[in-house]
Amino acid sequence: MCGIVGYIGNKKASPILINGLLKLEYRGYDSAGISTIEKTGLSTMKDKGRVKNLYNLPEIDNLEGTIGIAHTRWATHGKPSKENAHPHMDNTKTFSVVHNGIVENFNELKKLLCDNGYTFYSQTDTEIIPNLIDYYYKKETDNDDLKFLRAVKNACNSLKGSFALEIICKDYPDNMIVVRKDSPLVIGKGNGENYISSDIPAMLSYTKEFYLLNDLEYVVLSKDDAKFYNNNLEPINKEIKLIDWNASSAEKGEFEDYMLKEIYEQPKAIRETIGSRINKNSKCEFEELNFTKDYLQGLNKIYFVACGTAMHVGLAGKDMIEKLCKIPTEVDIASEFRYRDPLIDEKTLCIFISQSGETADTLAALKLSKECGAKTLAITNVIGSSITREADYSIYTHAGPEIAVASTKAYTSQVVLVAMLAIYFAETLELSAEKTTLLNSLKEELLVLPKKVQKTLETSTEIKNFAKRIYKEKDIFFLGRGIDETVAKEASLKLKEISYIHSDSYPAGELKHGPIALIENDVTVISIMTDHKLVKKTVSNIQEVISRGAKTLIVTNQQIDTDMFDMVIRIPETSTFISPILSIIPLQLLAYFTSKEKGLDVDKPRNLAKSVTVE
Ligand code: AGP
């Protein structure tokens, strides 16, 4: 949540900062601001609303400084307003700060500062930070080069919660300090310049060389240098990481919206995620993993822990691991898992799925699992993200940057990766010959999947027509059984987050136990049917809603009598284990076209942000 950008170099900072903010707007978009160091001291401009309000400010062109920090906000403390927008300055206007995260003890710190004569002008937790730095700065007796850094460090030591900070100081016009704790921040190395960002894609057009920071590492930046310090302020070395995403992968190109582009990128994302991990005649390989047969046989449980769409991937993973490996598997929402004393120990493998690798609850659940002795495995899309740096093992989807708030290509790539993981576990366990045949056919199915995804995208025109019929509705229901119910959940989340239509998903068989009371004339019911063992049962459930006047959309690869339904979308056949990868695609498109019909901002739905880095 919240996007952070910084620049220090020879160029005018403000256009680079605004450009970075525009690319990071998916992280938060209720207000934006910028601070630069000018010849006259610190200059700060901010406004409520989207970044375009900031760059439309006439004074913005007057900023000449070559050092600056900027922020696009997703409000936590205090409503979206100009006063609450970042950057925030201290009372003496010596420091300017942007902050991503939450200061949990801000009331205590505010009291300490108020008792010492400080005044506050916003409702944010952030405003205490520049004042706290000033408080410690004034206590410094040595006027040496590290005075600024010591004040920042002392302030950070007082903060509880999470933070990624950029700080500039009018007394140090050639420096910027950055630090993070449980909130993302990277430094991009340029030629005689440094870029700072909460997300790599925002800086890809400037550099591919990044420094990745660990918690409580401090960086003193100048245009030609980056000096790294640990929490004792001892100098440390940092290696540069080369990020091989290209800049165009973070641009919309010819597409109207990022979401549409990302839906259409799914064949490529899946192909690249499979990479060379699967071959027809050899075992599935994960060079990052070294699980043995003994270890897997000794497991009491596997846990998938994640949030939102990533958690829905876990549901598909449970089905695969239990059926292919016979290991009991549970799926939990990270924000619940961490507070319910989960039964885990050294015989539990906890798998954390997160596109961004930065989701606060998932990260906290991972730390808890490690404390309980479990082994931890991260599945993410972002190299070097916080979750990968905490986990014992990390495996990556290769979906490229996902910018739209609604996750699409990350979901399908994650299901592919989890399927390969299940195959790898099953092959390591050396189960029966019958299982080997099943695994081989599943591998063949995975290898042809990108083509089938391409074919499924051809349903777009029919789906667009259906969206025209439903976009004014208030409630929509998604039904499925078995693996199709997990897709119903994901489809329902996708529709509600970008079309603002209330939708719910249910196991089709559960309908008669309550939800059917909501079915009335002309209500839309959407059902997914890809499991031949369950299709007849689901058809019966749909007949029950048709009898009560519902209009129906069916996504299926099964032979069914199509006459009774309003629309049937045919998708290619594949193994039930991986059918979510195909069956979700028409429903991603349905969410997209419904949102477009309503004239909404598909990529930046209200109240949401791409990566949820606060609890
Ligand atoms: C997906 O469409 C959502 N925007 C959201 O549920 C997302 O999947 C969730 O916040 C988890 O994010 P992560 O994968 O980056 O951890």
- CA-closest candidate to residue 338, choices 322, 347, 350: 350
Nearest residue by C-alpha to atom 8 in ligand 1: 309
At 80 the pLDDT is 82
d(CA 571, CA 166): 49
User: Residue 214 Cα, ligand 1 centroid: separation in angstroms?
Assistant: 23
**Best of 257, 407, 489 to mutate for ligand 1, by most ligand atoms within 8 A of CB?**
407
Of all protein residues, the one whose alpha carbon is nearest to atom 13 of ligand 1 is 354
pLDDT of residue 244: 78
pLDDT digits (tens, 9 = 90+) for 136-165: 999 998 888 899 999 999 999 999 998 999
Placement of tokens 């300017």 in the chain: 96
How many whole angstroms separate alpha carbon 568 and alpha carbon 527?
10
**Which of 307, 498, 584 to mutate to test ligand 1, by most ligand atoms within 8 A of the CB atom?**
307
Residue of 612, 614, 615 to mutate, ligand 1, most atoms within 8 A of C-beta: 612
- C-alpha 365 – ligand 1 centre gap (Å): 15
Please list the active-site residues: 2, 610
Distance 356 CA to ligand 1 centre (A): 8
Which phi-psi region, left, alpha or beta, contains residue 165 (left: φ > 0; alpha: ψ -120 to 50)? beta
Give the DSSP letter string of 227-271: EEE-TT--EE----EE----GGGGS-TTSSSHHHHHHHTHHHHHH
Atom of ligand 1 at shortest distance to CA of 411? Answer: 8
**How close is the Cα of 301 to the center of ligand 1, in Å?**
25
Query: In ligand 1, which atom is closest to the CA atom of 610?
Result: 4
Residues with CB under 6 A from ligand 1: 307-310, 354-356, 359, 362, 405-407, 497, 611-612
Q: In the prediction, which pLDDT does 200 show? A: 87
Q: What's residue 286's pLDDT?
A: 93
d(CA 23, CA 251): 9
Query: How high is the pLDDT of residue 249?
Result: 74
Of all protein residues, whose CA lies closest to atom 7 belonging to ligand 1? 308
Kindly state the tokens that stand for 425.
């576990």
Specify the residue for token string 């339904």: 565
Q: Give the H/E segment covering residue 607.
A: none
Give the pLDDT confidence score for residue 239 in this predicted structure: 93
Q: Which residues of 114-141 are buried (b: 16+ CB within 10 A; e: fewer)?
A: eeeebeeebebbbbbbbbbbbbbbeeee
Report the SS3 class of residue 549. coil
**b (16+ CB within 10 A) / e for 34-50:** bbbbbeeebbbbbbbbb
List all residues 6 or more positions away from 466 whose beta carbon is below 8 Å from its beta carbon.
553, 567, 590
Residue 449 contacts residue 577 (beta carbons within 8 Å): no
Closest-CA residue to 72 (of 219, 197, 257): 197
Low-confidence residues in the chain, pLDDT < 50 = none
Q: Which atom of ligand 1 is nearest to the CA of 308?
A: 6
Atom of ligand 1 nearest to the CA of 494: 2
- pTM for the structure as a whole: 0.84
How many whole angstroms from 408 Cα to the centroid of ligand 1? 10
Q: Which residues pair with 376 in a beta bridge?
A: 350
Could you tell me the distance, in angstroms and rounded to a whole number, from the CA of residue 415 to the centre of ligand 1? 14
Closest protein CA for atom 4 of ligand 1: 406
- The ligand 1 atom at the shortest distance from the C-alpha of residue 608 is 4
